[in-house]
Amino acid sequence: MSELTPYRINGDTYFFTLALPESSAGETMHPIRALCLELVKIKQMHSFNLDALVILPKYVQGILTLPDQGGDLALLWRQIKAEFIKLAGGYDDLQGDDEDDLDRKRFFGYPLRGDRDFALHMNFLHYNPVNQGLVKGVSDWPYSTFFQYVQQGVYPLSWRMESA
């Protein structure tokens, strides 16, 4: 797990899940791609590192790190949620909810504690498509940052989590 340590930046690191609204077959990836593009735009406005991301049919999971000098996490989450709500427009279960209800239903995040916690969550996130039964191997799921870490030599292409 220590092989992930050089890829961390100094600052507070958070694991997050964005639960996605139900959609009909075939249209799942379109709004998710749009959300990812919005995350890239938000990243240009706010200083943070998107360490890892996996896009699954029912949710998006990621790890982000704020810069060492700090950052406004509350503002960052508000912008991500606003973009998510805009992209999820028309879904009945999101309409009429106040922000606290929306947080409980759709957004989950918590701080990671140290390099070991970071590595555990990174492995969990990348292996999640296999855990969900979507693919047989991590490299079969194209919607994640796994391949970036393969290119950097962190994971072999045939990587399997020891205790999945």
Higher pLDDT, 40 or 7: 40
- Kindly state whether residue 162 falls inside one of the protein's structural domains: no
Is pLDDT of 38 > 80?
no
- Kindly state whether residue 42 falls inside one of the protein's structural domains: yes
Is pLDDT of 14 > 90?
no
Total of domains in the chain:
1
Report the CATH number at residue 134.
3.30.70.1290
pTM (2 decimals)? 0.74
Structure tokens belonging to residue 51 = 């360490």
- Kindly state whether residue 156 falls inside one of the protein's structural domains: no
List, edge to edge, every strand of the sheet that includes 59-65.
49-55, 59-65, 13-19, 107-111
- Kindly state whether residue 161 falls inside one of the protein's structural domains: no
Using only C-alpha atoms, the chain has a radius of gyration, in whole angstroms, of 16
- Kindly state whether residue 158 falls inside one of the protein's structural domains: no
Domain that holds residue 71: 2-151
* Mean pLDDT score across all residues of the chain: 75
- Kindly state whether residue 164 falls inside one of the protein's structural domains: no
- Kindly state whether residue 7 falls inside one of the protein's structural domains: yes
